[in-house]
């Protein structure tokens, strides 16, 4: 039997309509000590609890205080949460760009699309590339543009895995359309049919499917560890650059010249039709 949760208190109902009527009848006045009217619609009620009563808007769970919510987000949502600022972000690219801000670190690298109008600067090459791959750069540069450019800049296939390329030297671009079938009406969440990841907003699922999560692992680490090939692969250039910058293998020293060359060449990034 499917039961419908109130989402505000522990009560469960056989019918979704009963759960909705309960929220409107019993929670129009805050049940957590505010003793005031907070609205009749689900949106009004949830907005109040989210703003006032430490609701995790990803899990739809309440916590006793801000400290408990903070620890929960560090443990469960570390990839989209800045623990220093106590801020949640839509995705990894956004939190990575935030962590590369002046508030956290000193920036030295200009956006590779600076000649196309972007004035953003970053603390690392990987942070700059993640910004472009997130499809949010004001220049209009996208992850597809980045991949196309790097394939051209790496004829020796040091970072690009030739086994992932088509015979014409390009990479297969996959695309998925978010449909109504991906919405779980009972949970009120959007579900990725490839990995079952659940998200609150349709836009989040669209960004997830456009990103590198389910893309071909086009890039590889050129380094070695203990005399063996590192073997690290990533579906995004920023991902493999983060690995190299972490110095977990000897790729950092091996790739320094390549990275500097890429940085110089990327600084003259041009979109071609």
Q: What's the pLDDT tens digit per position in 43-101?
A: 777 777 767 767 787 776 777 678 888 888 877 787 788 877 888 888 777 777 777 66
Domain assignment of residue 40, given as a range: 1-53
Q: What's the total number of domains in the chain? A: 3
Tell me if 200 is assigned to some domain: no
Contacts of 272 (CB under 8 A, 6+ apart): none
Identify whether residues 170 and 131 lie together within a single domain: yes
Q: What's the pLDDT tens digit per position in 176-186?
A: 788 888 898 88
The answer to whether 191 touches 197, Cβ cutoff 8 Å, is yes
Tell me if 81 is assigned to some domain: yes
Identify whether residues 69 and 114 lie together within a single domain: no
Identify whether residues 106 and 153 lie together within a single domain: yes
Distance of CA 245 to CAs 24, 58, 230, Å? Answer: 52, 31, 14
Q: Is the pLDDT of residue 269 over 60?
A: no
Q: Is the pLDDT of residue 259 over 70?
A: no
Identify whether residues 46 and 158 lie together within a single domain: no
Q: What are phi and psi of 62, to 5 degrees?
A: -100, 150
Identify whether residues 69 and 163 lie together within a single domain: no
Tell me if 206 is assigned to some domain: no
Identify whether residues 32 and 98 lie together within a single domain: no
End-of-domain residue from the set 43, 72, 88: 88
Identify whether residues 167 and 118 lie together within a single domain: yes
CA Rg value for the chain? 23
Model confidence at 148, pLDDT cuts 50, 70, 90, reads confident
Identify whether residues 60 and 150 lie together within a single domain: no
Identify whether residues 127 and 222 lie together within a single domain: yes
CA distance linking residue 204 with residue 232, whole number of Å = 27
Tokens of 156: 């020796």
Identify whether residues 121 and 143 lie together within a single domain: yes
Identify whether residues 78 and 115 lie together within a single domain: no
Identify whether residues 134 and 239 lie together within a single domain: yes
Q: What's the pLDDT tens digit per position in 196-232?
A: 888 888 888 887 887 777 778 889 988 876 667 888 8
């Amino acid at each position: 039997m499917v039961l419908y949760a109130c989402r505000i208190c522990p009560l469960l109902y056989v019918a979704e309509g009963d759960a909705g009527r309960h929220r409107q009848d019993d929670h129009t006045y805050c049940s957590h000590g505010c003793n005031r009217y907070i609205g009749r619609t689900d949106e009004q009620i949830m907005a109040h609890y989210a703003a006032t009563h430490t609701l995790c808007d990803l899990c739809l769970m309440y916590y006793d205080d801000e400290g408990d919510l903070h620890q929960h987000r560090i443990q469960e949502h570390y990839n989209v949460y800045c623990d220093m600022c106590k801020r949640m972000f839509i995705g990894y690219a956004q939190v990575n760009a935030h962590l590369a801000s002046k508030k956290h670190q000193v920036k030295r690298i200009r956006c590779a699309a600076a000649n196309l109008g972007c004035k953003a600067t970053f603390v690392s090459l990987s942070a700059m590339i993640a910004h472009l791959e997130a499809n949010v750069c004001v220049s209009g540069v996208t992850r597809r543009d980045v991949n196309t450019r790097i394939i051209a800049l790496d004829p020796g296939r040091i970072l690009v895995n030739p086994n992932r390329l088509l015979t014409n030297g390009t990479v297969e671009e996959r695309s998925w359309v978010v449909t109504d079938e991906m919405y779980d009406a009972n949970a009120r969440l959007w579900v990725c049919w490839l990995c079952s990841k659940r998200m609150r907003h349709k836009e989040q699922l669209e960004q997830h499917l456009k990103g590198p999560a389910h893309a071909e692992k086009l890039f590889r680490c050129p380094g070695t560890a203990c005399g063996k090939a590192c073997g690290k692969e990533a579906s995004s250039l920023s991902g493999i650059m983060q690995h190299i910058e972490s110095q977990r293998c000897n790729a950092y020293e091996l790739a320094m010249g390549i990275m500097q060359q890429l940085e110089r060449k990327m600084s003259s990034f041009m979109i071609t039709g």
